[in-house]
Each structure stands twice: as structure tokens, then as C-alpha cells.
Amino acid sequence: MIKTDILIIGAGPTGLFAVFEAGLLKLKCHLIDALPQAGGQCSEIYPKKPIYDIPAFPEILAGDLVSNLMNQIEPFQPGFTLGERAETIEKLDDGSFIVTTEKGTKHHSKIIAIAGGLGSFEPRKPPIPNLSNFEDRGVEYIIRDPEFYRNKKVVISGGGDSALDWCIYLTNIAESVTLVHRRNEFRGALDSVEKVQELKNSGKIELITPAEVVGLFGENKVEGVSIQIENEIVQKECDHFIPLFGLAPKLGPIADWGLEIEKNAIKVNNALDYQTNIPGIYAIGDVNTYPGKLKLILCGFHEATLMCQSAYQRIFPDKRYVMKYTTVGGVEGFDGSKKEAPKAVVKSID
């Protein structure tokens, strides 16, 4: 069981900055995120896009903002459970919580800070009528173990990096790889597109464009797909169909945790500390809502700061504390590091 002072669900910018503010109060944090890397939307959707409204940064790329935050929180040694989605929450008699991921990893904490953005990123599923009947019976949205496809016939659809990259990777493993895309153009990185072109020329990948997988057939598992090519539908035998259309955020299991939800977001007390209707559970950043809410990174930073002060009081109700400026108190890391302002040199005049 992972134990921590504040369990943060969501490792986007707000969740990451909460680690810093908690660290100043000597509170340790652990973060859970469904994505395999930290940074939330900034890393997953728009790492190369500039952001212009981070105070004191006239312009910063979303990916760089995440790297900077990771550097800033490094002294506070946060723990990470990445690639796992927070699934269930259980409240213990002492008021603390156990949060379990879908892979069964358990986390124990007195304070839960949900910084889940628009939710956990789930694969986008194409609207093929009988798709759900074949899930885990030949339809996979995520490739967990490429060896699973050894000597199998695989059809992949999509036009982005993951579709191209997996096509390239699986040519050495699968019996056959077919890529179906609605256009002749691909959105992925140029060298991936060129590599797929090469593999197509040498007959290692079958490329079907412009076309779309519109149906699946098979008795108990996928035995083939129906592909619409212009006005014609052709059937193609295969063992696996892997639609790779990127990820979209869904609020997911958190919606069933007994929290007050409004407009797909968690209602919080913004007059005080961004606590939800369940004491000890806070919601900060894009995942929360209150009158006048703005989904901005800078608002998330503010909310994270106030949440940490309140969490400290909740963990140590008898301790007195006043907020300290980092310029005065410096930053003392849990790793023994210390950053502080240099002392002024006082010199006398003879």
C-alpha cells in the first residue's frame, strides 16, 4: 500500500504544482494518472503549442511548462502511479481514504486532491455497430504487449502517430499488417510516414486508403473486418482489429464517488478551500466548478495553493501556521537540498 500525505489524482499542471505548495508545508504527495507520463493535456494533446497567459512567461510551450514544473517539484520527491486510472475510493473510520486503481494499486491518504482536468484519457472508439461485442475478443484500443500479435493478422485504423508507429513496429511481429485510413494523407511525424511508405512499397504493410472500417464479423471473436472503399464494401480476414484514433478525456469512475457533479465537473467551496461535499476530498483545476469558474492553468495554480493550506490544517488541526514566503524561508527539499536567497553582505565604511 502506498501511503502519502496528499494523494493527487491527475498529474497535469495543477496537480504537479500542488506538490510544490504541499512541499513547502512539509507534506508529501503521490500522484495517480491514467496516462503513462505526467503533464495531462499539456503533454498528451498540445506539447508543442505555446501558452501566453502564464504569469511572467510571455510565451512558453506546454511541454516546457510541464518540464519546468517537474524540475520545480523535484526536491519534494513526489511518487507517481502512472498509466493507471483511479477507480474506487473507500473511506476508513479515521476519516482517511484508500484509492484503488483499475490495476489494483492501493493508495492510502488523509487528503485526496482531484486534479483530473476533464477526466482520464480513454481511447476514442469509432462508431462501428457491433464493436463493443468484440472488445477483448480481437478488438483492442491500446497495444499493451506487442508479442500478443505474433503471427496474427492485424488491421489497424487511424492516421496519427500511434497508428503509424504501431504499424511499423508490428510488421516484424505479426503475420500481416493492414492500415486503413480515411485519407491518403497522414498526420503523423514525417519520418514515420516515409517508413510506412517504404514498408508499403516492399509489400510488408498493406495500405488501404481512402477507406474506413465499417463493420466486424466473426463467431465468438474477430474473424475479419468490412472496409468501405468509396462506395464498395470489401471484407478482409484478420485476427485483430486495432482502432487507434487518439484519446479523449472522460470523467469516468470519479463521477460515482458520491461527489456533487454539475456540468461534468465537481462542485467545490470556492469561498474557502476548494473542498468538495465530502470532507477531505478537494477538487482543483479544470475538474472543479463554482460560480465564475475559469478553466485556466493559472487559476489551477491558485486553487492548488489554497487547497494545500487547508489540507495542512486538516492533517494537523492543533498546529498553528502562517504562510511563509519562499524568498524568506527558501525551499527545503525532502532530498536534503536547500535553496534560499543569498544573505545580504553588510560592510562598514571606515
Partner 1 sequence: MSDIHINIIDREGVIHKIMAPTDMNMNLMEVIRSFELAPEGTIGICGGMAMCASCQCYILSNHELPEMGDEEEAMLAEAFFVKENSRLGCQIFIASDLEGLELEIAPES
The residue (of 81 and 120) whose beta carbon lies closer to partner 1 is 120
Residues of the shown chain interacting with partner 1 in the complex, contacts defined by CB under 8 A: 41, 45-46, 49, 118-119, 124, 126-127, 158-160, 181-183, 185, 187, 245-246, 248-249, 251, 263-265
Question: How far is 136 from 226, CA to CA, in rounded Å?
Answer: 19
The residue (of 182 and 200) whose beta carbon lies closer to partner 1 is 182
Minimum Å gap between C-beta 185 and partner 1 is 7
Minimum Å gap between C-beta 157 and partner 1 is 9
The residue (of 119 and 300) whose beta carbon lies closer to partner 1 is 119
| Distances, alpha carbon 246 to alpha carbons 122, 125, 177, 229, in Å | 8, 9, 19, 22
Q: Are 249 and 122 in contact (CB under 8 A)?
A: yes
The residue (of 83 and 246) whose beta carbon lies closer to partner 1 is 246
The residue (of 248 and 323) whose beta carbon lies closer to partner 1 is 248
Long-range contacts at 89-95 (CB < 8 A, ≥ 24 apart): 89/257, 89/281, 91/278, 95/279, 95/280
Minimum Å gap between C-beta 250 and partner 1 is 9
Minimum Å gap between C-beta 154 and partner 1 is 19
Minimum Å gap between C-beta 122 and partner 1 is 12
Strand 288-289 and strand 265-267: pairing?
parallel
Q: How far apart are the first and last CA of the chain?
A: 65
Q: Are 238 and 154 in contact (CB under 8 A)?
A: yes
Minimum Å gap between C-beta 214 and partner 1 is 11
Minimum Å gap between C-beta 121 and partner 1 is 10
The residue (of 45 and 173) whose beta carbon lies closer to partner 1 is 45
The residue (of 299 and 315) whose beta carbon lies closer to partner 1 is 299
The residue (of 137 and 187) whose beta carbon lies closer to partner 1 is 187
| Distances, alpha carbon 269 to alpha carbons 33, 41, 163, 261, 308, in Å | 24, 25, 43, 13, 14
The residue (of 226 and 309) whose beta carbon lies closer to partner 1 is 226
Minimum Å gap between C-beta 160 and partner 1 is 6
Minimum Å gap between C-beta 286 and partner 1 is 9
